[in-house]
């Protein structure tokens, strides 16, 4: 790991690193905020998965999360949103596919199948790296925004016991059934829509018992959604996840926030409550 | 005034406007954060002056100030850092002069003398516009960062009674005696250094009685300075202002914060205390 920068904030330290990733077969950059408590003890970690076009920096600069993280003694890790070292056809031509838009899946279609394994990176490699190199415990939570909200939900639902809690801001809850998801999944997973389902939070909730057995953990979902979000009706569709949860009795708190849009001004307004939610679960 | 955007945050609203400015003879953009209290009553205003290269957006996106402003019932106004509509020779060639670097003075040297009247804009025109168009009182405070910290200090020191309080993060306290200030003042005010003094906080503090009379208000200065700030020794020199304050008995609280740099991660760490300082003075 190569340290790129180290910046003091709220008594803790924001550090950015570059490292060679096995999952994506290339260099990746991530950021970690270590609260003041990490100087004398191990702290639990919240993984934050960002949305389309973002890097490791957006959340760290705009969410206003460090004050509460420093108070709670919570580390925050932000990965990038896609591999960056390749130059595939169309990889950089649109904001919602390819570079900056990895969608936290393991791609199976050439050429993306070679490197776009953001799911493995986020769920396996990055926690392993973080837990081996920083003063953190093996208690993890996961949250994210939009495409990253989708990522947080699928990471938690597919890995019972791995995360103590999950939350999301304006997540893409049903990517198999919206333009962003259909474009990305076609490009990363191919035309066979049956292969898409395992990456869809709404499908996963509905089929949790089928895939994981009767004893499947039902981790409560905590979601904030702005009612003035431009992407609400066409892309985000929280009612699909809400209906699936109701159908199978999966616990969900879906808060519709009047007047709020899709921006980090929305996230910063409610991030403290999400951090408290995770801190409580992390113990 | 043309409304450019309106975004809900922490129960209040961030609004950006474009308007035709008489002071700078062209279009200017500014942002105002109105806390929730502004829906039912008039609230006091903190003017935030940003540093080199910034626009009205940096503070609003990165300072994490809205949570506390919403709690205290404080509006925040961020002007841009220079006129933007002209295309003078060298105006866009360096980060520390011309566009994005107005230094909150009234330029006297051609061609900048035509439009670079950021002092008049910030002290007179903008408060007039804000107080005529928004639910705010005529109670004002001023703060800023780096070049904007210099701006906040000179605005307050030159206008006794106009502001209830002043604070600054890593201000350029003695611009007549550092490379940033010397370059800017030469370009905006000319070679005669005697004309520079009225724009220098350290000089103004030392000569307050001379310029304003025995009854001159001595508004306390509240300043945070990171000790790991790359610009501390060559550009910022807080010890010059500290010595001037000591010499004439001007009240100053200068906090040297170990480990903090010049970034918004530093500002966000202490902005709550500055907002509380201003709110207390604003009543």
- φ, ψ (nearest 5 deg) of residue A220: -60, 140
Mapping DSSP to helix (H, G, I), strand (E, B) and coil, where does residue B246 land? helix
Smallest Cβ–Cβ distance between A265 and the set B14, B261, B272 belongs to B14
| C-beta separation of A33 from A66 below 8 A | yes
Say whether B50 is catalytic. Answer: no
Task: Name the interface residues of B facing A (CB cutoff 8 Å).
Answer: 7-11, 14, 61-62, 64, 66-67, 226, 228, 259-261, 263-266, 268-269, 272
CA distance B258 to chain A (A): 9
Q: Which two three-digit tokens encode residue B278? A: 């201003």
Beta bridge partners of B20: B27
Give B9's strand partners.
Answer: B12
| Sheet of strand A12-21, all strands in order from the earlier edge strand to the far edge | A2-9, A12-21, A26-34, A75-79, A43-49, A136-144, A165-169, A221-226, A252-257
> Which pLDDT tens digit goes with each residue over A20-61?
999 999 999 999 999 999 999 999 999 999 999 999 999 999
In degrees, rounded to 5, the angle at the alpha carbon of residue A191 between the alpha carbons of residues A188 and A194 is 95
Rounded to whole angstroms, how far apart are CA atoms B250 and B241?
Answer: 10
Please say if B87 is a catalytic residue. Answer: no
Contact A61 B61 (CB under 8 A): yes
Chain B residues with CB under 8 Å of A272 CB are: 67
pLDDT at A270 over 90: yes
Distance from CA of A93 to the nearest CA of B (A): 27
Enumerate the residues of chain B whose CB falls inside 8 A of the CB of residue A260: 8
Average pLDDT, chain A: 97
For residues A133-151, average pLDDT: 98
**Closest approach of chain B CAs to the CA of A182, in angstroms?**
29
Catalytic pick among B146, B165, B167, B279: B146
Chain A: nearest CA to B265, how far in angstroms? 5
**CA dist list (Å): B136 to B2, B71, B74, B121:** 19, 16, 9, 18
- Of all helices (H) and strands (E), which one includes residue B47? strand B43-49
pLDDT at B212: 79
**Which residues of A lie closer than 8 Å to B, measured between beta carbons?**
7-11, 14, 61-62, 64, 66-67, 226, 228, 259-261, 263-266, 268-269, 272
CA distance A222 to A134: 28
Map tokens 């400015």 to a residue: B21
Residues 6+ apart with CB under 8 A from B38: B12, B73, B75, B134, B135, B136
Residues with Cβ < 8 Å from A98, sequence gap 6 or more?
A: A82, A88, A90, A91, A92, A112, A187
- Contacts of residue B200, defined as CB under 8 A and 6 or more positions apart, other chains included, come to B154, B174, B175, B176, B177, B181
Does the beta-carbon distance from A62 to B62 stay under 8 Å?
Answer: yes
Q: Which residue has the tokens 């990522």?
A: A151
Other beta carbons less than 10 A from residue A59's beta carbon: 27
How many A/B residue pairs have CB atoms within 8 Å? 62
Q: Look at residue B13 in the predicted model and tell me its pLDDT.
A: 98
The vertex-A98 CA angle with A92 and A101, nearest 5°, equals 115
User: What pLDDT was estimated at residue A91?
Assistant: 96
* pLDDT higher than 80, residue A215: no
Q: Widest CA span of chain A, in angstroms?
A: 51
ipTM of this predicted complex? 0.96
B229 is catalytic: yes
What per-residue confidence (pLDDT) applies to A200?
98
B61–A264: do the CB atoms touch at under 8 Å?
Answer: yes
Return d(Cα A213, Cα A216) in angstroms, integer: 6
Token representation of residue B59:
């503070």
Residue B220 DSSP one-character state: P
Q: What dihedral angle (degrees, nearest 10) is formed by the CA atoms of A230, A235, A240, A241?
A: -90
Against a cut of 0.90, is the pTM above it?
yes
Tell me the three state secondary structure of residue B146. Answer: coil
| Chain B closest-CA separation from residue A226 CA (Å) | 10
Question: Are B8 and A265 in contact (CB < 8 Å)?
Answer: yes
Closest Cβ opposite residue B269 in set A10, A268, A272: A10
Q: Are B93 and B38 in contact (CB under 8 A)?
A: no
Q: Using an 8 Å Cβ cutoff, are B60 and B9 in contact?
A: no
Q: What is the pLDDT of residue B280?
A: 98
For residue B57, give the chain A residue with the closest CA. Answer: A62
pLDDT tens-digit readout, A218-230: 999 999 999 999 9
pLDDT tens for each residue of A225-247: 999 999 999 999 999 999 999 99
Per-residue pLDDT of chain B (283 residues; tens, 9 = 90+): 999 999 999 999 999 999 999 999 999 999 999 999 999 999 999 999 999 999 999 999 999 999 999 999 999 999 999 999 999 999 999 999 999 999 999 999 999 999 999 999 999 999 999 999 999 999 999 999 999 999 999 999 999 999 999 999 999 999 999 999 999 999 999 999 999 999 999 999 999 888 878 777 899 999 999 999 999 999 999 999 999 999 999 999 999 999 999 999 999 999 999 999 999 999 9
Asked if the Cβ–Cβ distance from A8 to B272 is below 8 Å, we say no
Nearest CA in chain B to A265: B9
Inter-chain residue contact A269 with B64, CB threshold 8 Å:
no
Cross-chain residue pair B67–A263, CB shorter than 8 Å = no
């Amino acid at each position: 790991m190569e340290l790129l920068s180290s910046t003091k904030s709220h008594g803790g330290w924001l550090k950015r690193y570059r490292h060679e990733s096995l999952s994506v077969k290339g260099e990746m950059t991530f950021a970690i905020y270590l609260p003041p408590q990490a100087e004398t003890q191990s702290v639990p970690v919240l993984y934050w998965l960002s949305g389309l076009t973002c890097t490791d920096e957006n959340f760290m600069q705009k969410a206003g999360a460090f004050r509460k993280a420093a108070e709670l003694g919570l580390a925050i890790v932000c990965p990038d949103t896609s591999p960056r070292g390749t130059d595939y056809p169309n990889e950089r031509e649109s904001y919602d596919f390819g570079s900056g838009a990895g969608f936290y899946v393991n791609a199976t279609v050439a050429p993306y199948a070679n490197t776009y394994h953001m799911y493995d990176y986020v769920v396996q490699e990055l926690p392993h790296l973080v837990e081996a190199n920083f003063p953190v415990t093996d208690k993890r939570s996961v949250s994210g925004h939009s495409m990253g909200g989708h990522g947080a939900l699928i990471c938690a639902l597919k890995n019972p016991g791995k995360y103590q809690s999950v939350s999301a801001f304006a997540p893409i809850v049903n990517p198999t059934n919206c333009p962003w998801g259909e474009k990305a999944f076609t490009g990363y997973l191919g035309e066979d829509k049956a292969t898409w389902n395992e990456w869809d939070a709404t499908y996963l909730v509905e089929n949790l018992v089928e895939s994981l057995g009767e004893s499947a953990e039902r981790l409560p979902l905590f979601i904030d959604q702005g009612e003035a979000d431009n992407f609400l009706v066409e892309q985000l569709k929280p009612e699909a996840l809400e209906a699936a949860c109701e159908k199978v009795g999966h616990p969900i708190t879906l808060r519709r926030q009047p007047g709020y849009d899709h921006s980090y001004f929305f996230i910063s307004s409610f991030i403290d409550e999400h951090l408290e939610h995770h801190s409580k679960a992390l113990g």
